[in-house]
Copies of this chain bind each other. A is one copy, B any other.
Amino acid sequence: MTLPSPLTGVVPPVCTPLTPDNEVDVASLERLVDHLIDGGVDGLFVLGSSSEAAYLPDGHREVVVDRVVRYVGGQLPVLAGAIDMATLRVLDHVRTAAAAGADGVVVTAPFYTRTHPAEIARHFRLVAARGELPVFAYDLPVSVHTKLDADLVLELAADGALAGLKDSSGDDGGLRRVVLGARARTDLPSFAVLTGSELTVDAALAMGADGVVPGLGNVDPHGYVRLYRYAREGDWARARAEQERLCALFRMVGVGDPLRMGASSSSLGAFKAALHLRGVIACPLTAAPQVPLSEAETEQVGKHLAAAGLL
């Protein structure tokens, strides 16, 4: 399909269900896509951080993008993460995504290697110039260990190197600088600013963001879709109430014992446990070396779902 210009609405980063022996569970993945489409989402983002892209071998990644694009069949735009350390590696992923028929790719600054603003700019320009798909910059300093500068993003957008920004930095002041900068330029009507911060979506939309990429949207797509609709209708009171309900639900990410596991195991483990408890996916396994939730921790996830009326 043609990518909306700009891309707007709710575009969840799709979790990647695994079988007990660590393969992509395609049947569960398709049920998850159904669940999201049923929720009313506006697009899908496969192979993002919430999809455990960092954990998935290239074979798994290829299965995911290929099967989701085919299953969706053009009903919705599908973005694919091309998460890797530097340009040539990213270009390989872009090629795979394009071959599978994805509608855009999501790309971070280089990581692992020590980098520089000039190299970050060069990276995005090369991916845009030689890749075959619209490029969304992915700002995730907690993983990438550099923050994308608002002025650099706008400059790349003006040069046509970027179709949008997925801002998961948690820095809403920086997000606003991009939103206002993009609006101030008449040459950027189709540049999309999407927030990845689940807890401040109403605020980001009020500031002028175009959409949201919420990890928690896997668990409750209907909630984020309602939130988005209320915001678009200017009904900020209802948007806020919906957002606050989702904030309470989001507390599930803290169920994992910090003595036993890291934040990724806990939060992605909670999302997958919730999808399992809701009957969407067959197995809540997260990819190695993440530590599984205990039974008691999974029960806590269930309580969060129940409190939100989702069980």
Contacts and interface: CB of A to CB of B under 8 A. Distances in A.
B264 A115 contact: yes
Contact of A262 (B85, B114, B126): B114
A240 B206 CA distance: 8
A145 B114 CA distance: 11
Nearest to A88: B57
B180 A291 contact: no
B180 A119 contact: no
Given A170-B173, A244-B180, A288 B87 contact: yes
B111 A112 contact: yes
Contact of A203 (B55, B91, B198, B207): B207
A297 to B, nearest CB: 14
Nearest to A263: B114
Given A54-B113, A112-B144, A143-B114, A176 B247 contact: yes
B89 A264 contact: no
Contact of A126 (B114, B123, B142, B289): B289
**Copy total for this chain:** 4
Interface string A244-265: 1001100000000011111111
Contacts of A172: 170, 172, 197, 199-200, 203
Given A145-B145, A264-B113, A264-B115, A87 B287 contact: yes
A65 interface: no
Interface in A228-256: 236, 240, 244, 247-248
A171 interface: yes
Interface of A: 22, 49, 54-60, 83, 85-89, 91-92, 110-116, 118-120, 122-123, 126, 142-145, 170-174, 176-177, 180, 197-200, 202-203, 206-207, 236, 240, 244, 247-248, 258-265, 287-291
26 contacts: A55-B86, A55-B113, A56-B88, A56-B89, A57-B92, A59-B92, A83-B112, A87-B287, A88-B288, A113-B262, A115-B264, A115-B289, A116-B291, A118-B291, A119-B290, A122-B289, A170-B174, A171-B171, A172-B197, A172-B200, A177-B199, A177-B247, A180-B247, A200-B207, A206-B236, A236-B236
